[in-house]
Structure 1
Amino acid sequence: MGTAADRHLAVGFDFGTTNSSVAVVDGAGQVQLASFPLAGAETQSFRSVLYFEQYQNSEGAKRTHSLTGPAAIEHYLQTDDKGRLVQSLKSHLSSRTLTGTEVFGRRYKLEELVSRMLSDLRKHAGHQFKNDVRHVTVGRPVRFVGAETEEDQEFAVARLRVAFALAGFENVDFEMEPVAAAYTYEATLDHEELLLIGDFGGGTSDFSLLRVGPEVRRRGRTAADLLGNSGVALAGDAFDARIIRKLVSPALGSDSEARSLNKLLPAVPAWIYANLERWHYLSFLRTNNVREILKSARIRALEPEKIEALIAIVEEDLGYQLHQAVQDLKFKLSRDQDAEFRFCGGGMELRIPVTRASFESWIAEDLQAIEGAVDSLLRSSGVEPGAVDRVFLTGGSSFVPAVRRIFETRFGASKIRGGNEFTSVAHGLALRAAEQLRGFGVSWFPSRA
């Protein structure tokens, strides 16, 4: 590939709520995905997490060290004295109220936290591909989590651009994530198709309807080839939250009461359990204020053992373990009609039978929102379901049977395709970057915020 630092490499960068990945187009026009060390092996998915720990240097002064991605997860799991694990930062980009957080006495802006992950990804990709990666095509959702207006969308994009600049990137172009996934699918075609893309991430579900195929590539893309986009700010994280609410929170006292002035009141404020449902807020519960609230609740609670378990979950920062248990349950329910939720940690052990039907009832409102986004896209584009040639689904939640049924019902099971569910966006972004370097085709999304 060459080693010139100033040579523009076609790089696709998928910074995700849960996982991130990087891809490049090599000299032969082939897409290569960056790989990252994990437990003695390699993975192409870089967990979007940031871990801080504090240590004393040889002079006894306290210092803070940070790790990202797979290395952060491994270190966090191996360390008895837990530091601070921060997750799902992408979900905060549209929020004007969450500007940052304090870690070990230092205030970090959100853009700075994100940039630490992006910087490590850039350096790792640069080392693997022997190129100082400075120019990149980046994916963005159709609708950011929490964005209610177009101004919120632009605010999120602007913050993401700042984070990339802090991480050492000099030029950043944005493309819709479902459009990027369409590039991946299009590379397999020898004919033209009207394609609907469903991209299910951790925080958003995004959809695009577009014409793809070798003839489109040959003549050059036009704005008319993209018939429309739609999205909803929920996906895998929302499904996880329902499982936490129904299975975990009750075991941690969400339904428990405490005696106060001869009255029975909720033992713990509901907002603490609401934050427990959101992986990207779990680490933020480790504050003195929350500690005092839980300590008082444990004294007054009629079921103090449940509050004690909640305290352990928060103090031991067991969000990752909870997340893994939930992911395991979702995987089992995608395969079987019945499964068992298992979690052990914080002095508690949960073993709860769950049916697929129950899980689908918990996420019914989320499924309706996804259906609404798909139907809205078809209406706004003036396209009947029968006119869609193929549906390509990507992202982890595309495996959920109830999600797939949304598309099978409208388009027919024979039209559904999938593949490379965790890396297809990065793969397509690299192909899009290669087009941009050749000056080929139009930009379907403004590259400058």
Structure 2
Amino acid sequence: MGFMGSAEGRHIAVGFDFGTTNSSVAVVDGDARVQLASFPSAGAETPSFRSVLYFEQCKNGEGVKRTHSLAGPAAIEHYLQTDEKGRLVQSLKSHLSSRTLTGTEVFGRRYKLEELISRMLSDLRKHTSSQFGKTIRYAMVGRPVRFVGAETEDDQDFSVSRLRTAFALAGFEHVDFEMEPVAAAYTYEATLDHEELILIGDFGGGTSDFSLLRVGPEVRRRGRTPADLLGNSGVGLAGDAFDARIIRKLVSPALGSDSEARSLNKLLPAVPAWIYANLERWHYLSFLRTNNVREILKSARIRALEPEKIEALIAIVDEDLGYQLHQSVQELKFELSRAEDAEFRFRGGGMGLRIPVTRAKFESWIKEELEAIEGAVDTLLRSSGVHPDAVDRVFLTGGSSFVPAVRRIFESRFGASRIRGGNEFTSVAHGLALRAAESLREG
């Protein structure tokens, strides 16, 4: 379905990859070239826009408090530079299928989930409009094969409906949706001079999605048909789940999750488990900076058999070091993608952690997630009736596609020589822009 909005907006094809962790935008210009939007970050430019909102309260000249919000890299930078922390909100995409999570309260005001998402989308739209000199009102939007938490088709439709509403609130007059792995296939197809049957694996922060489809110049020439897409599959987990395992298995024990304390001549867990659960997503750590939690941790430190570990946890909570902690997790994951051994390193709050980790140990932590990904790939092959030998190429995209254990899932079925990658963090936006251009030509 083509764009039915303003004449000005009709001249630019826009691909919009709104992700759980990062978002990106690409456009096809008048010369049919795909260009990525770029965003200022730490004195440089980046094509990745962190899917984060930061709220703070500021006093105006009359001393009245006003709530101010920032999105993307600017939100992260402002949060890190501010002593008195405001409220960080992220991973909003992973809540789209939830009918119980309608929104949240920030500084006394209730915000619907769609409104929170729209604030990020609005910043992205305005920035991209400014960069390319055209008012953007239409976009081809990526969507996962299966949204996080979606169990039925009604859940899927509900998620898409909420996302559509968020785009409308952000000033878009019309949007079309395309499966994210199909969008990645458009990026790969642009490099081909022959026909192929390909399997696309798209690994985001919250979902892992797979598609089997036929691509190539002949497909583009005759026009794509439903028969070219042989099947889709997906699971509601990916990079965020890997990070949570590292926190749970490696970091939390160093901060006392396995420690005990004496209570009435009995040995009990020193700290309630729910406190450590809040470490597994970095922005949740801000929720622990309450008087109630401080009292719990102070009491635990007095009674604990390993008080130094509880002291380290107190330092991380008091100084709100969740972002820095998870950056260290990302660095460890990156190093383990390149070597069999690495060291987790974190310094902050007057303490430091240096813990050796093997790739084999990390892979044992994410065994369940790897099995779920394997199951989704095998389900796709069975349901589409395609034997692995019939697949010409496998194109992997997204950050977790670098994890060796993930790549082995595909190498064991298709052989290393058939695995391809490239532009792992922007290939979906790139492909969505190509898909948008195709849609505009058809419309």
- Paired residue for 2:273? 270
Report if aligned partners of 2:282, 2:325 keep a CA contact under 8 Å in 1: no
Q: Does 1:17 align with 2:20?
A: yes
What displacement does 1:330 show? 0.8
- Paired residue for 2:59? 56
Distance 1:300 1:106, change over 3 A: farther
- Paired residue for 1:447? none
- Paired residue for 1:46? 49
Distance 1:280 1:380, change over 3 A: farther
Structure 1 gaps of 5+ residues are 441-449
Q: List aligned pairs for 1:14-413, cutoff 5 A.
A: 14-279=17-282, 281-286=284-289, 290-291=293-294, 293-413=296-416
Deviates more, 1:402-411 or 1:80-89: 80-89
Paired AA for residue 332 in structure 1? E
Q: Secondary structure at 1:340's aligned position in 2?
A: strand
- Paired residue for 1:422? 425
Report if aligned partners of 1:86, 1:283 keep a CA contact under 8 Å in 2: no
Deviates more, 1:183-192 or 1:361-370: 361-370
Report if aligned partners of 1:4, 1:132 keep a CA contact under 8 Å in 2: no
Deviates more, 1:420-429 or 1:87-96: 87-96
Distance 1:178 1:112, change over 3 A: same
CA–CA distance in structure 2, aligned partners of residues 346 and 144 of structure 1: 37
Q: Secondary structure at 2:79's aligned position in 1?
A: helix
CA–CA distance in structure 2, aligned partners of residues 97 and 310 of structure 1: 31
Paired AA for residue 132 in structure 2? F
Instruction: Indicate the percent of aligned positions where both proteins have the same amino acid.
Output: 87
- Paired residue for 1:444? none
Deviates more, 1:301-310 or 1:32-41: 301-310
Paired AA for residue 409 in structure 1? S
What displacement does 1:315 show? 3.9
What displacement does 1:14 show? 0.2
What displacement does 1:148 show? 1.9
Instruction: Write the deviation string for residues 197-246 of structure 1: whole angstroms up to 9, x where unpaired.
Output: 00011111100000000100111111110000000111111111111011
Report if aligned partners of 2:370, 2:406 keep a CA contact under 8 Å in 1: yes
- Paired residue for 2:3? none
Distance 1:286 1:223, change over 3 A: farther
CA–CA distance in structure 2, aligned partners of residues 112 and 285 of structure 1: 25
Deviates more, 1:388-397 or 1:289-298: 289-298
TM-score, with normalisation over the residues of structure 1? 0.93
CA–CA distance in structure 2, aligned partners of residues 203 and 290 of structure 1: 29
Q: Secondary structure at 1:227's aligned position in 2?
A: strand
What displacement does 1:393 show? 0.4
Paired AA for residue 442 in structure 2? G
Structure 2 gaps of 5+ residues are 1-5
Report if aligned partners of 1:54, 1:64 keep a CA contact under 8 Å in 2: yes
CA–CA distance in structure 1, aligned partners of residues 349 and 161 of structure 2: 39
Distance 1:406 1:314, change over 3 A: same
CA–CA distance in structure 2, aligned partners of residues 289 and 142 of structure 1: 41
Report if aligned partners of 1:23, 1:33 keep a CA contact under 8 Å in 2: yes
When the two chains are superposed, the root-mean-square deviation of aligned CA atoms in Å is 1.8
Instruction: Write the deviation string for residues 336-383 of structure 1: whole angstroms up to 9, x where unpaired.
Output: 111110011233311001111111111111111111110100000000
Deviates more, 1:239-248 or 1:155-164: 155-164
What displacement does 1:295 show? 4.8
CA–CA distance in structure 1, aligned partners of residues 46 and 399 of structure 2: 16
What displacement does 1:100 show? 2.0
Deviates more, 1:148-157 or 1:372-381: 148-157
Deviates more, 1:262-271 or 1:6-15: 262-271
